[in-house]
Amino acid sequence: MKKTSSTVARLVLAATVFASAGTALVAPGTVAAQPASVVRGLPDFTELVEQVGPAVVNIRTLEKVSSRANVNGMDEEMLEFFRRFGVPVPNVPRQHRPQRPQDEDAQPSGVGSGFIVSADGYVMTNAHVVEGADQVLVTLTDKREFKARIVGTDKRTDVAVVKIEATGLPAVKIGDSSRLKVGEWVMAIGSPFGLESTVTAGIVSARQRETGDYLPFIQTDVAINPGNSGGPLINMRGEVVGINSQIYSRSGGFMGISFAIPIDEAMRVSEQLRATGRVTRGRIGVQIGPVSKDVAESLGLGKQQGALVTGVEAGSPAEKAGVEAGDIITRFDGKPIDKVSDLPRMVGSTKPGSKSVVTVFRRGNTRDLTLTIAEIEPDKTARKAADQPKPKAAVATQQLGLLVSDLTEAQKKELKLKGGVRVEAASDAAARAGLREGDVILAIANTEVSSSKELEAVLVKLDKSKPVNVLFRRGEWAQYALIRPAR
């Protein structure tokens, strides 16, 4: 009996030690509660592949290559190898080059992916997949192949719609990309390197990822390679939430970062392409830039937000409404502009001809301006500003390290300005702020200036120990600088 009691005592002591170490004690026949991540385990994608896979297609493009065949003496298959893997085409001595064919046979020019969005044969893909193609071939998972007609492409969003003549086709379900969460599992189906019906999976790494393009991307770690372009990004409900479009790579292959076009924006584009073959977007005729934290504080904006107007196009809706260079657009139709890229997207999605209201912050005050949205035009190269003639006299403004002069009437007319002073030289604090010869100062400390005397009058009243904001124009565009006193 003593032995039994001793054994029980040891077991109790051991249980106490384990419990104090964080190990849960449970009664026999019960299952200990586990963290949610352990209970869920890894997802099973097999049902999703069976459900969505038949609606994913392989896209091949052909081009007539009589003028391009046998570049550097190599046949088309070898050239395709170099193109696909991003290897520069080597030079081959002329004597080793075979004769150029005289016919215009269509040769393979690219491979990509796509997905069927309607049973009557509409297929979505990337614009860069079908760009420049003389012929587009769509292959279904059941090996049927169709010649496709390009309905329309939109380079700004990299979305394209093609049509094949077939009915009763399996179509994908369209999801809501705005509901995606970082860390959510997603899956891609496509044709990397021409390998049809390849499935890869991963998680959403980031939403609203800015890459400098017209729209923010969904960033994932799903393995995407050349040939996956145009294929669907699918959530765990079997819905398409994006179009796989780009990768970040230093080698040409997958490196853990992929980007997909949000399906919400892609569908808006595709609807216009199907209806008219083109996409119309709104424009208001302004050049814009970001608002830095320092500039926002110095102007009294309150927080870093909005889009800084650096230039206003002559005759544009913005000019007619009274928008000026140096304004900060903080709202469009009542919606806040948190960052500079928000404005072109909001304006672009507004129907040309409609009335809109922009809220601008100008020299400490906020005002609403009503304008009529125009239709966007092809990107234009900014005209280089003419060299300004040197004035006969200049006035020293030593406080800021500036040498400035009044604008002549001819200069004001050429620059389409009512006032301002020209920077003849910049040194010390002004140079450190980025000002240089040829800049035209339009305002300082939120006060417009039309002459060097006005500029000096403003400077006399300022606290010389604090930074001062300067609105200036360089070429055709205006921007802010913050001149900090020397310490």
Residues noted as catalytic: 128, 158, 229
Three-class secondary structure of residue 82 per DSSP: helix
Tokens of 478: 């205006």
Per the annotation, does 227 bind a ligand?
A: yes
Per the annotation, does 228 bind a ligand?
A: yes
Candidates 268, 153, 248; CA nearest to 205 is: 248
Judge contact between 400 and 421, C-beta under 8 A. no
Strands (E) located in 255-362: 258-262, 282-283, 286-289, 307-312, 328-332, 335-336, 355-362
Can you tell me the distance from the alpha carbon of 399 to that of 430, in angstroms, rounded to the nearest whole number? 9
First to last CA, the chain: 88
Give the C-alpha distances (Å, rounded to integers) separating 5 from 8, 10, 11, 17: 5, 9, 10, 19
Three-class secondary structure of residue 266 per DSSP: helix
Per the annotation, does 387 bind a ligand?
A: no
Per the annotation, does 96 bind a ligand?
A: no
Judge contact between 214 and 345, C-beta under 8 A. yes
Residue 86 half-sphere exposure toward CB, CA atoms < 13 A: 10
Candidates 117, 113, 241; CA nearest to 171 is: 117
Candidates 359, 292, 296, 298; CA nearest to 323 is: 359
Cβ burial of 434 (10 Å; 0-12, 13-18, 19+) is middle
AA letter at 454: E
Three-class secondary structure of residue 132 per DSSP: coil
Q: What angle do CA 207, 127, 232 make, to 5 degrees?
A: 50
Longest pairwise C-alpha distance within the chain: 117
Residue found under tokens 């069976």: 50
Per the annotation, does 158 bind a ligand?
A: yes
Binding-site residue positions for substrate: 128, 158, 227-229
Binding-site residue positions: 128, 158, 227-229
